[in-house]
Amino acid sequence: MKTLRLTNVKDKKVLVRLDLDLPMIDGAYDATRLVHGIPTLIYLFKNGAKSVRVIGHVGRPKGKVVRKFSMKPIAKLLYLELLKDKAFKGKTEKDVAAWLEVAENLRFDAREESGNVKYAKELIKGFDLYVFDAFGVSHRNHTSVIFIPEYLPTVTGIQFYKEITILKKLLKKPKLPFVFILGGGKAETKIPLIDPISERVSVIIAGGKIPLEMNYEDHPNRKLIIGELREDKKDLSDAAMEQFERFIVQAETIVWNGPMGMYEDPEARKGTAYIADCVARTRDFKIIGGGDTEAAVTALGIDQEKAFTHVSTGGGAMLEYLAKGTLPFLESLKHSQMEF
Ligand code: 3PG
Ligand code: MG
């Protein structure tokens, strides 16, 4: 893999794809994804990159300019976060902005999600290097994910490399039993990955939207256990929480993506809190992932460093990597024939 740390960036104009799709919880941004993008930017600054343009997306505005999905408030957070680093000591927000610009939401243009060569060429104009550090979106066939690497020399950013290094361990002989906990929304993306993931794991226990949107009879899998929901369907039932706990305490490897209930509603957080506590108490190789899962666990006040081996910034991407052993971005990087 072509990585940033092995690349000469001096005097280069660098285009950086970050994962700035920050989850909102109780009306405030959870900045974890943004914070994970900082080491790449600091590296570029310290190693003399001439200028940087950060590109990213927020939400799903479907090709329209939607104010609530603007990148502006997130750009502000990014500048403040950079100023905390000693590399920028004595500098002002204006100084940082003169070196690093944050572009508006890529998805305000429908060509980002449709995948478009012309859009890729517009985005790369004037740049020498592309640094991809948006693990959370690396499973999408979008312009900034799979087309830009074909036209601009591309390397992986620091967070992306870290994610792949850790997740790779799950593909090679993980310790058994391997318990996979699946929940959250975007059931349409996740349901098709259940069968391939089941080949790698001992059991999949499912909550969140999965029990609502999946019919076991249409999709039987002997390793899949769909959790029972409580009466209003917003969270797991108490019986399901206890059933899930019995699997979790026996596990040697755990991967968890997606809250167990409609986490946005404070009345529907018990299942997620219960499962988070069970996972946090075990001593295994434990990976949790996804913007919402991470935000939910943060809101619960769990010490992530102590409780989990790794907290991945991408949920869907983590699932796809586990299911297929590769990602659209990685494939595109392989095919990128560009010389440096
Ligand atoms: C995420 O939130 O998982 C990533 O930002 C990807 O977003 P998407 O599911 O809208 O492509
Ligand atoms: Mg998300």
List C-alpha distances in Å: 301 to 263, 281, 306. Answer: 15, 14, 12
Q: Decide whether any atom of ligand 1 lies within 6 Å of the 211 Cβ.
A: no
**Mean pLDDT value across residues 163-185:** 95
Q: Decide whether any atom of ligand 1 lies within 6 Å of the 62 Cβ.
A: no
Ligand nearest to the CA of 184: 2
> From CA 323, how far away is CA 255, in angstroms rounded?
12
Statement: residue 340 has pLDDT above 80: no
Tell me which residue has its CA closest to atom 7 in ligand 1: 137
The model's pLDDT over 205-239, given as tens digits with 9 standing for 90+, comes to 999 999 999 988 888 999 999 999 999 999 999 99
Q: How many residues does the chain have?
A: 340
Determine the pLDDT at residue 25: 82
Read off the pTM. Answer: 0.92
> From CA 76, how far away is CA 85, in angstroms rounded?
15
Contact 289, 256 (CB under 8 A): yes
